[in-house]
A and B are shown apart, each in its own frame.
Chain A
Amino acid sequence: MRRVVTVVDYGRSNLLSVQRALEHCGAEVRFAKSAAELDGARFLVLPGVGAFADGMAALNAAHMTEPLRRLARDGVPLLGICLGMQLLFDWGEEGGRTEGLGLLAGSVVPLPARTAAGETLKAPHIGWSALELSGAALESIREALPRAGEVYFVHGYHARPADARDTVAEIVYGGHALCAAVRRENVAGFQFHPEKSGETGLALLRAVLSAGS
């Protein structure tokens, strides 16, 4: 059966790439630009490229913030990607301290300025990093992740979940362990871009799509 996925379109995303990757994984993609178009969603994807404050302002302007919170609390599977994952948290610092969706406890803060060894750390972090799964990772994700599976990141900020159990995967960047994927019940997030992470990214997307069925 084809899974119908509703992709939130709030004008801050690489929508075409996300759509193509989801379709490649067997999903049927619909876009929601308004609260009305979110109605009846069975699986939500919140993509996003850009700054936290700007992204929340766009969601608010489209009147989708409350409906998204309600759907997620009603148990509809929700996957946030990159900025979309960051917006799941209580608040973010990018563009001035801004309230997020608050579906996960914690904050989104700038990458460390220095490596663990004290050298200047390049930011934004652009490139491929290997995921290290935590005990909280879904079995389907574990199975989907090839050995030495690397995924593509573009981010200047990172999430700090208040509850360590929400962290599903980390990466090591500049000697620091950074949160790379989160999950609490039906709410999940990838800091990396699965739609730009080759076959590994597609396998992870498929795993999340099948887990939510």
Chain B
Amino acid sequence: MTEKLRVIARLDVKDENLVKGIQYEGLRKLGDPHDFALRYYRQGVDELLYLDTVASLYERNNLGSILRRTTEDVFIPITAGGGLRSAEDVGDALKAGADKAAINTAALRDPSLITRVARAYGSQCMVLSVQAKRRDRDRPEAGWEAYYDNGREHSGRDALEWVREAVSLGAGEILLTGVDCEGFRRGMDEALIAAVTALVDVPVIAAGGASGADDLIRAAQNGADAVAVGSILHYEMAEVPQLKRALRDAGIGVRVCGAL
């Protein structure tokens, strides 16, 4: 783990709306993503993560206009993902205000894309998004498989081997989603977080399933460098200062912003 846990607000976007899904199925519309982004920025969140949830199905990315609007009054790092298929797509997202690009589907199809993006824009900007699903819920030793297209499609690849290969190809950060936990708010896949953070030296963002500060504390204790939080914030179950206070009280370093 690095010195301070980053708390990242995850905003899943479909067309012009912030949405929230249960295991990527049954999307619920929540409103204008910019309103949410600004609210979390003012609460002191450390980064934003915009994911275009349907982009890879239609092979396009609609985040440009949302990114450009966000840069007007939100001054923290932004990662954009969903449907990015080439180094040119990444370049467009960066021009629109993103600082990093999260890639899953296109990297699984053509791992050399990781190297091209890292060479063109630096590995710090090449975030590998991994959707890891347990092969057998009753047999943890069976490990995890990497999925794509929002957790719907098998890649046939072992998730840990894929992470290791991607880092060797130039991925500078891992966005790690436990598909089994995604959207349930019943806790994160802690064994997965521990396995991936032990495997690679690049920062790991744990995502999927956080139901409250206790899950974030456990993610940090299992080695996560950052945590991505969606539902907890969107449904106002907790605000950012509250989460950071709980983390700090548990002995985990966080960025202090305003009155904690």
List residues of chain A with CB under 8 Å of any chain B CB: 14-17, 20-21, 24, 49-51, 120, 122-129, 148, 150, 152, 154-156, 173-174, 193, 195-199, 201-202
Q: Which residues of A lie under 8 Å from residue B4 when comparing CB positions?
A: 127-129, 150
Q: Which residues of B lie under 8 Å from residue A49 when comparing CB positions?
A: 121-122, 125
Residue pair A198, B97 in contact (C-beta under 8 Å): no
Number of interface residues of B (CB under 8 A): 33
B255 touches A (CB below 8 Å): yes
With A154-B124, A202-B75 given, is the CB distance from A148 to B256 under 8 Å?
yes
Main secondary structure of the interface of A (DSSP, over half): mixed
Measured CB to CB, the nearest residue on chain A to B5 is A127
Q: Which residues of A lie under 8 Å from residue B172 when comparing CB positions?
A: 124, 126
Partner of A150, one of B71, B122, B256: B256
Distance, CA A39 to CA B123, complexed state (A): 35
Q: Which residues of B lie under 8 Å from residue A50 when comparing CB positions?
A: 121-122
Residue pair A196, B99 in contact (C-beta under 8 Å): yes
Residue pair A122, B122 in contact (C-beta under 8 Å): no
Query: Which of A15, A49, A120, A122 counts the most chain B CB atoms within 10 A?
Result: A122
Give 21 A-B contacts (CB < 8 Å), ordered by A residue: A14-B94, A16-B97, A17-B99, A49-B125, A50-B122, A122-B2, A122-B201, A122-B203, A124-B123, A124-B124, A126-B203, A127-B3, A127-B4, A150-B257, A152-B76, A193-B77, A195-B75, A196-B75, A197-B76, A198-B76, A202-B75
Residue pair B124, A198 in contact (C-beta under 8 Å): no
Residue pair B73, A196 in contact (C-beta under 8 Å): no
3 closest A-B pairs (Cβ-Cβ)? A128-B255, A20-B71, A124-B124
Additional A-B contacts beyond A126-B124, A198-B44, A202-B75 (7; CB < 8 A)? A49-B125, A51-B122, A126-B173, A126-B225, A127-B203, A127-B225, A129-B3
Q: Which residues of A lie under 8 Å from residue B12 when comparing CB positions?
A: none
Distance of B199 from chain A, by nearest CB (Å)? 13
B109 touches A (CB below 8 Å): no
Partner of B77, one of A16, A152, A173: A152
Q: Which residues of B lie under 8 Å from residue A24 when comparing CB positions?
A: 73, 75
Distance of B194 from chain A, by nearest CB (Å)? 16
Residue pair B72, A20 in contact (C-beta under 8 Å): yes
Distance, CA A54 to CA B166, complexed state (A): 23
Measured CB to CB, the nearest residue on chain A to B226 is A127
Distance of B97 from chain A, by nearest CB (Å)? 5
B202 touches A (CB below 8 Å): yes
Q: Which residues of B lie under 8 Å from residue A20 when comparing CB positions?
A: 71-72, 75, 97
Partner of A197, one of B44, B75, B94: B75
Q: Which residues of B lie under 8 Å from residue A21 when comparing CB positions?
A: 75
Q: Which residues of B lie under 8 Å from residue A150 when comparing CB positions?
A: 4, 255-257
B137 touches A (CB below 8 Å): no
Q: Which residues of B lie under 8 Å from residue A17 when comparing CB positions?
A: 71, 75, 97, 99
Q: Which residues of A lie under 8 Å from residue B41 when comparing CB positions?
A: 198
Distance, CA A14 to CA B77, complexed state (A): 11
Distance, CA A51 to CA B121, complexed state (A): 9
B154 touches A (CB below 8 Å): no
Residue pair A198, B121 in contact (C-beta under 8 Å): no
Measured CB to CB, the nearest residue on chain B to A125 is B2
Partner of B95, one of A16, A193, A196, A202: A16
B28 touches A (CB below 8 Å): no
Distance of A23 from chain B, by nearest CB (Å)? 9
B145 touches A (CB below 8 Å): no
Chain B 221-257 per-residue mask, 1 if CB under 8 angstroms from chain A, else 0 = 0000100000000000000000000000000000111
B182 touches A (CB below 8 Å): no
Q: Which residues of B lie under 8 Å from residue A123 when comparing CB positions?
A: 201
Partner of B68, one of A15, A16, A127: A16
Measured CB to CB, the nearest residue on chain B to A50 is B122
B46 touches A (CB below 8 Å): yes
With A122-B202, A122-B203, A124-B123 given, is the CB distance from A154 to B3 under 8 Å?
no
B96 touches A (CB below 8 Å): yes
Q: Which residues of B lie under 8 Å from residue A195 when comparing CB positions?
A: 75
Measured CB to CB, the nearest residue on chain B to A18 is B71
Measured CB to CB, the nearest residue on chain B to A128 is B255
